[in-house]
Amino acid sequence: MAGQKFGKGAVVALVIAHCAGMLDLIALPVWVGALVERFGFSPQQAGGIATLFLLGAVAASALAAHRFNRVNQRVVATGGFAFAALSFFLASTQSGFVPLAVLHLTAGISVGAALSMVHGTMGHAENPHRLFATAGISIGLFGIVLLGAIPQLLISHGGPVMFQVFGGVMTLATVACAVLFRNPVSAEAETLPTFSRAVWFTILGISVMTFNQAMVFSFVEVIGKSRGFDPANVLGVLIALGIVNFVFPAPLAALLQNRVPATVVVQLGPAVQAVLALIVTGATAFVFWAPAAAIFVAVQIFTHTFAFGLLAKLDPSGRAVAATPATLMIGAALGPIAGGALGENLGFGALGIAAVFVAAISIGLFTKAKAA
């Protein structure tokens, strides 16, 4: 049942594991950019490799979330992050498309299973919305460090260092889960009801919104450089993005928890995201492009914090929020490869137009959830 009090150590483990498991939310542009620039893959190939990681996470999360109340959450989380660390360290020794694709799939499967245990456990907290917001603040700080460090390390040490950093992050999550993770008191699996229509529509709405996020955000760095912006300025925007994510969306979501209805926030979020996508993909002046790119991810973090709290209320068993990795990453998995295909064949401006149509679908699903 929901409403359990976790100690500080357990909360620290959940937050660290959340940051590691949500690596793609922060690192996708650098990740895809490095695969293009450092490994020589086309945008579509690079997007495909990232997609395999996300598809693996989706499949594992869908299976793990369904069994959340039947397994030892701490063991699954620890083992999942450990296998992910091994996969990334092995990836740092490879440069070919096939081995990197296989290792990304393996890492994704491992992360998906682990992160489902983390999010399902967070859903059992006294205040899931606030705990998820705390994790969001932490991932913002994590993003500042990661987006500031990885580009410099790539310049100094080449492409493999990115996977070594990812492996190190997963190792930290492994240790945190092994030492500090505490299993929630779960309801009997046999007594759990099926998901309501409101739960399903909310899950689908988040997935579609995340597709938009990944389709555009994966290519922010590539778009910026293709517009002729100075690479140092583009890097500065990525660092600013991390600072914005740290300072604004999650703290604001925590502050507004009892002041703004979650159902309203999830309907407005995709609309704001679409407007920013049009600017990011269409602006040719840096003065317009930079602010939109810097706050683009913040909209997703803010909106999903409310959606997480909403799902925790709609399904107190924790299974719906345990499916968070699948919910997010099914959209994120399709986003990079769709964005790469559109960018290569129709130009990056097409991503903004596509984002408007996708946002309309997301708003429609959240509206159906509110009415259900």
Integer Cα distance of 129 and 122 in angstroms: 9
- Residue 238 tokens, joined: 């990525």
- Which of 73-77, 179-183, 330-334 has the weakest average pLDDT? 330-334
For the chain, percent of residues with pLDDT exceeding 70: 97
Confidence of residue 366 (pLDDT cuts 50, 70, 90): very high
Domain residues of the chain, as ranges? 8-183+195-371
H or E element, residue 235: helix 231-247
Amino acid at 131: L
Q: What is the mean pLDDT of residues 240-248?
A: 80
- Percent of the chain exceeding pLDDT 90 equals 45
- Higher-pLDDT residue of 292, 5: 292
pTM for this entry: 0.83
Residue 274 has pLDDT above 60, yes or no: yes
CB neighbour class for 260 (10 Å; exposed up to 12, middle 13-18, buried from 19): middle
What number of CA atoms fall less than 13 Å from residue 246's CA on the CB side?
15
Task: Measure the CA–CA gap between 268 and 307, rounded to whole angstroms.
Answer: 12
- Domain 8-183+195-371: CATH superfamily is MFS general substrate transporter like domains (1.20.1250.20)
Q: How far apart are CA 93 and CA 167, in angstroms?
A: 12
Cβ proximity of 234 and 224 under 8 Å? yes
- Token pair belonging to 51: 């997609």
pLDDT higher than threshold 60 for residue 131 = yes
Q: Rounded mean pLDDT of 48-62?
A: 89
Q: What is the pLDDT of residue 292?
A: 94
Q: Is the pLDDT of residue 11 over 70?
A: yes
Q: Residue 299: is its pLDDT beyond 90? A: yes
